[in-house]
Amino acid sequence: MKRSMARGTATAAALSLLLVGCSASPPDGSSGSGSEELVYWSMLTVDEPEVPILTAVFDEFEAETGITVNVQWQGRDVLQKVMAGMTTGNVPDLTDQDNNRLQGLLANNGAARDLSGLYERTVQGEDVTIGELVGDKYDPLTKGEDGAYFMLPFTLQPYVWWYNGANVPSLTDGAPSDWAGMDALLGELKAEGRAPLALDADHTDYDRAMVATAIVRAVGPGKLLEAVEDPTGDAWDTPEMREAVELFVDWAEQGFYAEGYDSSKWPAIQTEWAQNKADLLFLGGWTPNETRGYAADDMAYRAFNFPAVEEGGDTAVPVALNGFAIPTKAKNPEAAEQFLAFLYAKDPMSRLTTETLSLTVRSDIEVPADLQDIRDIVDQNAIYGVNDQVPAVVPNFDTTVFQPATQALVTGRLTTDEFIERMKTEQKQYWELNG
């Protein structure tokens, strides 16, 4: 009996050791060979069009430098996995996401490495530094409060009004430049029996982006964030805010939105827009890439900037940047920087632009016709962070107060007074509880 007990205990101990042995190997699969491997956790999933191009770049990079890129296509939640690994040190050497998330999750928690040195690095095979290529236009979105670069922007997503040039040819002659012109355009389209506006209102991110853009037009970049951070909530009760809110009350009352926009599941209305059943869609630069699979045969992607309140007013473009960051606990940051200097060369950037319809920060690359309008819009205007950075700075407020209110506004459930009062009351309460 004793022997069988001992045998049982030994078996249990062996199993435990086996389990410990299994868990001791790095979960990222890295061999721990140091500078010969670069671990990259990507925001992409393996089925996305960028993946074959990036995979080819990894192979070219390895042939050039001998460094193997060990990539994991983690998807959009990649930073949550990076943050979870920050406490244990199980982090990649390189990761990517949009500027809101990189700032809100990595930079604000001191988990992003300062990339100032990377900006000074020369692009592979070119006589120009990465910093010179990118320029300082995006600095407000890529630098943290300490003035250090927490990310290197790669592609950009300007939020604009999209339309099919073949479906609304009158717009190609000249888009509205102020709100009066916009209202007139929508009224004309409606009078023709068309659905002027497409909006998947169940996607609260889209509701909020549209309303936030109008508010920033009315109060100026940076002022929406200031208003949101006002603990009294009184900053909402100004003529400029009211004018912006009134725009959406009016659009809902006039019935400018496509039928069923408040009771469909994304991307139902976006699909209708792509099939010429609605005319204008306010969305990011990914629209051509995302909708081309189901777009009408005559689709010619055209875009115009959200008009100024009045002629000559502010026309800064709301932009989200996708880009790279290196966690502070990265084991091989040098290889990550070396890879980025390789990736930012003209050839890989051109391939990505052309084959995935992505607008990159390299404005010296020729873009496909579908992206030409947004290239021009970005190059000809100042930029600011979409939603005035509210989701990055006060994410919980954005989710629980701002987004629900904007959804109620665009779906016609609130008057201007009700929206202003709701924001004042809920914001005051939010800061009382969370200030």
In the complex, which residues of this chain contact other proteins (CB under 8 A)? 1, 5, 8-9, 12, 76-77, 80, 83-84, 86-87, 98, 100-101, 104-105, 109-111, 200-205, 259-260, 262-266, 268, 391-392, 395-396, 398-400, 403-404, 407-408, 411, 413, 426, 429, 433-434
Q: Least CB distance from residue 330 to other proteins, whole Å? A: 16
The single-letter DSSP state of residue 182 is: H
Q: Which is nearer to other proteins, 25 or 263 (CB)?
A: 263
Q: Least CB distance from residue 72 to other proteins, whole Å? A: 18
Is 322 in a helix, a strand, or coil? strand
Q: Which is nearer to other proteins, 34 or 110 (CB)?
A: 110
Task: Enumerate the H helices of 192-332 as residue ranges.
Answer: 204-219, 223-228, 239-254, 268-274, 287-291
Q: Which is nearer to other proteins, 268 or 345 (CB)?
A: 268
Q: Least CB distance from residue 160 to other proteins, whole Å? A: 19
Q: Least CB distance from residue 198 to other proteins, whole Å? A: 13
| C-alpha torsion angle, residues 327, 328, 332, 335 (rounded to 10) | 60
Q: Which is nearer to other proteins, 208 or 331 (CB)?
A: 208
- Please give the Cα distance from 105 to 84 (Å, whole number): 11
Q: Which is nearer to other proteins, 43 or 134 (CB)?
A: 43
Q: Least CB distance from residue 393 to other proteins, whole Å? A: 9
The single-letter DSSP state of residue 168 is: S
Candidates 389, 322, 363; CA nearest to 78 is 322
Q: Least CB distance from residue 92 to other proteins, whole Å? A: 17
What's the sign of the alpha-carbon dihedral 355, 360, 365, 366?
positive
* 11 burial type by CB count under 10 A (0-12 exposed, 13-18 middle, 19+ buried): exposed
Q: Least CB distance from residue 367 to other proteins, whole Å? A: 25
Q: Which is nearer to other proteins, 116 or 396 (CB)?
A: 396
Residues 6+ apart with CB under 8 A from 363: 375, 378, 379
- Please give the Cα distance from 225 to 388 (Å, whole number): 6
The single-letter DSSP state of residue 267 is: T
Asked whether 323 and 349 are in contact (CB, 8 A), the reply is: no
Q: Measured over all CA atoms, what is the biggest interatomic distance in the chain, rounded to whole angstroms?
A: 94
Asked whether 241 and 219 are in contact (CB, 8 A), the reply is: yes
Q: Which is nearer to other proteins, 365 or 408 (CB)?
A: 408
Q: Least CB distance from residue 228 to other proteins, whole Å? A: 14
Q: Which is nearer to other proteins, 34 or 292 (CB)?
A: 292
